[in-house]
Structure 1
Amino acid sequence: MQISVHSIARVLKDKRWDNKMKTKPIAELTFQPLTTNEIKPKGWLLRQLQIQAEGLSGNLDKFWPDIKDSKWIGGDKEGWERVPYWLDGFIPLAYLLDDEDMKARAKKYMDAIIDGQEEDGWICPCPKEKRGQYDMWALFLLLKVLVVYHDCSKDERVEEVVHRAMVNFDKHIDQFTIFDWASTRWFEMLIPLYWLYERKQEEWLLQLAVKLKAQGFDYASLYEDWPYEKPNSSGHWSQMSHVVNQAMAVKSLALFSRISKQETDQQFADKMLEQLLTFHGTATGIFTGDECLSGNSPTQGTELCAVAEFMYSLENLIQVTGDVKWSDQLEYIAYNALPAAISPDMWSHQYDQMVNQVECSRIEEGKQPFRTNNGEAHIFGLEPHFGCCTANFNQAWPKFALSTFMKTKKGIACTAFAPAEVETTINDQKVKIDLETDYPFRNTMQFTVQVERPCAFDIDIRVPAFCSSATINGKQAKSGEYYHISKVWTDGETIDVILYYESEFINRPEEMIAVRRGPLLLSIAIEEEWNKIDYGENETLRVYPHCDYEVTPVSPWNYAYVDKEIDFQFHQVADMPFNPAEPPLEASAKVVEIDWPQKDGVVTRTPAGRKPMSEVKQVKLLPYGCTNLRMTEMPFIKL
């Protein structure tokens, strides 16, 4: 999968490549991301970020050893990916909330990391004699964090720190080619690399990008003749089918297309996702992976890291391509798979979530449904199965908030719907656009434009492809496209948007169906009981509020739909937006009980029988993201 350093050198010495570098700098992004200084969350989105700050994300540095006592800040605990993972979400969270205490705590970590950079530019906590064995994935992640920190804080030290680290890395991989996680995630380094190139215009950086691609894992070749249509029956673990790697790699060649200018590189994400969702997809719009790709059964798990990283990949695809479909998919993941794997108070999370999940209790080793994860991977806790998701899920909501608006060449595009406002400069004039909405729980929104004096610029509003129709200020707008408004704006003008969509039954494998309403997937609600796991009096880490829970059902769940009429009730968005106790909307559907076995807390993939075992009854459906226990993919029976 890799080529030799000498082969890379020949490519870099080729005069045709040198000329290409000089005449074809990196392509501009279609949509430029905005920063925490320009975007501010509002409404339920602001509350969701506040809950995150009050929960695990905002407190890991106070008690979790891998953050609190990390080698990154002079301690003796983990000195690889966990601190950068946590900072990648904690920093934008602190600045989106404008929380001075959180900003100060972030600065403490960044000061320690920056001060720890060695004279030759090496910045990771690793003895010099062991550098050749250090997996450089942590460096890629850290440099991304430094860029995030600069964009939030405007810390003038960052650019030089990143530059010195890049120079060191460029020399390092001439001797020690990247391996393991750095190899399968090579493209993540392009993000800080492009950021630095746009500031310094140094051509060696583009040559470094080519080295990275040459040394990194070749996903294009893998997906050309893909060997992973079926999961490995033996539970064999592989980097090549690892779910988080796939979630990250979706954006890989789209990022590289900024250098290559190849349309096929931009199109690779479509090809990759088509195969992933065809053979391993679930009703949530993401693929299974527990820990590697695990097929399309609703009782297989999906790792929370994969959800967070898939969202980040989609955000990058939006920036590169400007395509509505990536925004549609981003919203669908953000409003369903993301909140479903985290408790409503965000003090606990799952490692693996299941689409049909009727119980979250510890399973005896060897009896769990997961192919490579243990029987605790689906409980809600501090670090079930493994601690990577504990640190990494923190990035998802803050970066989603930063993806609600993006900048175009002539104005602003609303790329994802959530209550937020953007304040930026267009044509040397301050412009503010405020979006008020309870979307995705409602289908209406209002934009208000504020300008100091009349100002000409464009506003592009995405119309999701799932809409049957839409109106913008009373005019019909085409689904699956951006509605373009170009005019001279005066202060206080408004834009009213109404999206029209109905509930629909989507087909799933094994003659199952799931119910979707626009951006929300719906599930049969299961009443639940949470039981704190007692690890004994000597346990000091998994204690309240950062403790582990088993969640068990106290209501039936073994149903089949018998009618396609879904009735909805809408409620005010509560203090915890994604909470089964106070859902923003609920629905009712007609079902019958059927024979559906459960063993070791897990339902079988399909029911044992599809004959009614009860009279028709009404059951409650909730948004998937508001559930902890649920049945989502179910049969439909014609009575």
Structure 2
Amino acid sequence: MVLSPRFKALATSLVLASSVWGQTGLAPKKFLSLPLGQVRSAGWLTDQLTIQINGLAGHEHEFYHYVSQSDWTGGSSAYSNLEEAGSYWFNAMIPSAVLLNHTVINQKTQDFLDYVLSHQDSTGWLGPEVGTTKPRYLWGRYPFFFGTIQMVENNPALTDRVVTALHKFVALANTMLKNNQGVEPWTATRWEDFVITLQWLYDFHPNGNEAILIDTMKRLKWTGVPWEQVFNPQFFPTKAVDNTPNPFPALTWHGVNMAEGLKALPATYRFTHNQSDIDAASKGWDLLFQYHGRPSGIYAADEYLAGLEAIRGTELCLVVANLKLCTPKETMFSGSYLYQVIGDPKFADRVERITYNALPATLTGDMWTRQYLQQQNQIAAKNMSPNPFPNDGAYSNVFGLEPNYPCCTVNHPQGWPKFVSNAFLTTPDQKSLVHLYLGPFSTSTTLASGNKVTSNVDTLYPFSDTLTTTITATAAFTYYVRIPSWVVGGTIAINGAAAKAVTPSNGLQAVQVAAGTTKFVLNLPAPITTESRPHGSIAVHRGPLHYAFDIPRSQKVLTRNAQESRAVDLEFDATASWQYAIDPATLKFVNKPPASGKLPSPVFDAGQPPVSITVTSCPINWSTAGDTFAAAPPTNPACTGSQRTITLSPFGATKLRIGEFPSFKST
């Protein structure tokens, strides 16, 4: 990739300013993640992981041509796709298998690791280009690196072998960068993932190579997209970019690359120590969601940034919760990384919204099929004519094995397990435990001074407002739990004492834990709120959940995989009217807790969640384009029939839906 002289000068100045006020090394994070395996799911979240590994994610290596391992001799078939698919699969399946103690998948990922490392060539290169004349570009290795880091976290016996291979590759990469090699447009936009790998080595296994690690970080930034300028309000696009000239390299406005860019600046801050990097990252986050955000928590990008219209698409790869060290395709990891570096709770709040809304919405309940693009207002999932997506195929919102592009097939399994593994953090001094993402989790770790701590969270959250946490510790310490910004009237009751109002500081409630056992109960109620959307429409929220009208649907099998009959492409069509306006003054929350105390499986499917919202509605005239997508919500529509009560469901449980409604005033 060739940058313009203007941006080369900017990048060079940033490299030269890599030490502020004499500071060297890497700036510390506000919070530290725990090693893979120290945080586990419980309750309904474990059920989600189980459904996923019993679905497409846990079986695609048996038949899907991009990662098929039926002809493996230690991993060669998937290894041939290390440029992308193999790396994605490897990185996704490691946390899935570890969290469920899945013997078969654990062995598959170990085989993959063994094969790749044993085929590293004498120069240090890793990948299928070894022994070929194929051009060598850096970026396809990054997801593989993240996978190896997770394996080391879970099994320290692998440390020497993995770290030695990584340092050997870093030396080669540094030389390549000096010689202007290894960088093409995708590498130029995704350089921050390699920087994060280098920072892991610097923090935990520098092996005397600190200088070359820092130098490689600087060179990656110098050869890459200047994200601090992309996120500058002067240049940032405020509408769909279909016909907008891009002053930067074309791929910068690509949706998943924008997600990459969100974590580029906090990664840069660690070696520049420049507060301006932090400020630009926070501002960029706000701009992205202000001009392209959706009520489901994510933003619209059907390949490229798509504005606020409800029928534009959001790619599954953009959504998935690659929450730890992960692939280039996601927003949720960027939010988690931003929180760990900056500490602003706005990042954690949005990650939780994305996880509990956008992620399950784009998968069928059994997780055997997935979309490429989801829509906020989605009245059909079929081959679309006309096609509302300027840069993606008409098949993009079908639920299937490989609609449009294959990347999401191999990448999507990262979502749930990496959300789980980042639910707890520690403070930098490792004296305190931080419960960041709310849900049914457990963790067992050793804090500073040998303080052995376990925490078990019993809850149906986000389908309940109550969380009961039991902590055991060998010594007293301060425990922190996040109180989301949408909570109103939250209380905490410790060791059976009377409930008191929560008093969070910067989003965290401090709990003083004594040696022995401490138990506390959080009640975190939230009001129903509405969000203003384009054309005078509104979206409905309560707590972390966004609510939508779940359109009744028919199902048609379009294709079935010849090797795996459960891998199908499905067409969904509406079987009932969806053209409604709603009266926001009549919204009422309904909670029907399961008598057994256990949520149905799968919970993110039609009619399954125990929570809903009722609202008075009336039918209206609302046009469609062909029979495949809804036009923009009509402004101030007239009722065409009598008022009726409809039920809104959690967005993640809907596959056809209206999530942005016109409004009216009922009588």
TM-score by length of 2: 0.89
The question of 1:168 aligning with 2:177 is answered no
Do residues 628 (structure 1) and 655 (structure 2) align?
yes
How far apart are residue 534 of structure 1 and its match? 3.6
| Equivalent of residue 442 in structure 1, options 461, 464, 471 | 464
1:412-423 matches, cutoff 5 A? 412-423=433-444
In 2 relative to 1, CA 393–600 (structure 1 residues): closer, same or farther, beyond 3 Å? same
- 1:282 correspondence with 2:294: yes
Describe the shift of the 1:9–1:607 C-alpha distance in structure 2 as closer, same or farther (beyond 3 A). Answer: closer
Distance in 2, matches of 1:424 and 1:300, equals: 43
Asked if 2 retains the 8 angstrom alpha-carbon contact of 1:530 and 1:550, the reply is: yes
Q: Which segments of 5 or more consecutive residues in structure 1 lack a partner in the other structure?
A: none
Structure 1 contact 92–152 (Cα < 8 Å) conserved? no
Q: Is the Cα contact below 8 Å between 1:324 and 1:480 reproduced in 2? A: no
What is the match of residue 3 of structure 2?
2
Counterpart position of 2:623: 597
Question: Does residue 637 of structure 2 align to residue 610 of structure 1?
Answer: yes
User: Offset of 1:337 from its aligned partner?
Assistant: 0.5
Matched, 1:252 2:264: yes
2:225 aligns with one of 192, 217, 225: 217
Superposed displacement of residue 75, structure 1: 3.1
**1:114 pairs with 111, 114, 117, which one?**
117
Q: Is the Cα–Cα contact under 8 Å of residues 324 and 482 in structure 1 kept in the other structure?
A: yes
SS in 2 for 1:510: helix
Separation in 2, partners of 1:10, 1:234:
31
Distance 1:10 1:49, change over 3 A: closer
The CA distance in 2 between the partners of 1:548 and 1:35, in whole Å, is 37
Alpha-carbon distance change, 527 to 217 in structure 1, aligned in 2, over 3 angstroms = same
Deviates more, 1:3-12 or 1:521-530: 3-12
Within a 5 Å distance, the mapping from 1:123-522 to structure 2 comes to: 123-127=126-130, 130=133, 133-154=135-156, 155-156=158-159, 157-175=161-179, 176=181, 178-198=183-203, 199-200=205-206, 201=208, 202-224=210-232, 225-226=234-235, 228-233=237-242, 238-308=250-320, 309-364=330-385, 367-408=386-427, 409=429, 410-426=431-447, 427-451=449-473, 453=474, 455-473=475-493, 474-478=499-503, 481-485=506-510, 487=512, 489-522=514-547
Give CA-to-partner distance per residue, 1:103-148, whole Å, 9 cap, x none.
11111111111111112210011145646x3332112222122112
1:304–1:352 CA contact under 8 A, matched in 2: yes
Q: Which moved more, 1:183-192 or 1:578-587?
A: 578-587
Distance 1:324 1:23, change over 3 A: closer
Please report how far the alpha carbon of residue 259 of structure 1 lies from its aligned counterpart in structure 2 after TM superposition: 1.2
User: What SS does the corresponding residue of 1:533 show, helix, strand or coil?
Assistant: strand
User: Residue 620 of structure 1: CA displacement?
Assistant: 1.5
Match of 1:92 among 85, 90, 95: 95
Cα drift, residue 563 of structure 1: 4.5
Moved more, 151-160 or 51-60: 151-160
- TM-score calculated relative to the size of structure 1: 0.93
Deviation at 1:501, TM superposition (A): 0.8
Q: Which whole-Å CA distance do the structure 2 matches of 1:73 and 1:207 have between them?
A: 33
Deviation of 1:577 after TM superposition, in Å, equals: 1.9
Change in 2 beyond 3 A, CA 1:28/1:233: closer
Matched, 1:562 2:583: yes
Amino acid at match of 2:664: I
Measure, in 2, the Cα distance between the counterparts of 1:401 and 1:359: 32
Cα 1:330–1:563 change in 2 (3 A) is closer
SS at match of 1:458: strand
The C-alpha deviation readout for 1:537-557, integer Å capped at 9, x for no partner, is: xx626x521111001111211
The unaligned stretches of length 5 or more in structure 2 are 321-329, 494-498
- Please report how far the alpha carbon of residue 229 of structure 1 lies from its aligned counterpart in structure 2 after TM superposition: 2.2
Number of residues paired by the alignment?
628
Write the deviation string for residues 278-320 of structure 1: whole angstroms up to 9, x where unpaired: 2222222221111111111000000111112101111111211
Report the residue type matching 1:231 in the other structure. Answer: A
- Secondary structure in structure 2 of the residue aligned to 1:448: strand
User: What's the CA shift string for 1:457-502, capped at 9, x where partnerless?
Assistant: 1101111111123112222224673444364513231011111211
Question: 2-side partners of 1:300 and 1:262: how far apart?
Answer: 36
Alignment of 1:52-71 (within 5 A): 52-68=52-68
Q: Which amino acid aligns with 1:415?
A: L
Q: 2:358 is aligned with what amino acid?
A: A
Residues 513 and 7 of structure 1, relative CA distance in 2, 3 Å threshold:
closer
Letter in 1 for 2:50: Q
Which string of whole-angstrom CA distances, capped at 9 and with x for unpartnered residues, describes residues 495-521 of structure 1? 111112111121111100011001000
Q: How far apart are residue 322 of structure 1 and its match?
A: 2.2
The one-letter amino acid of 2:198's match is L
Q: How high is the sequence identity, in percent, across the aligned residues?
A: 27
Sort the Cα spacing of 1:407 and 1:591 in 2 relative to 1 into closer, same or farther, 3 A. Answer: same
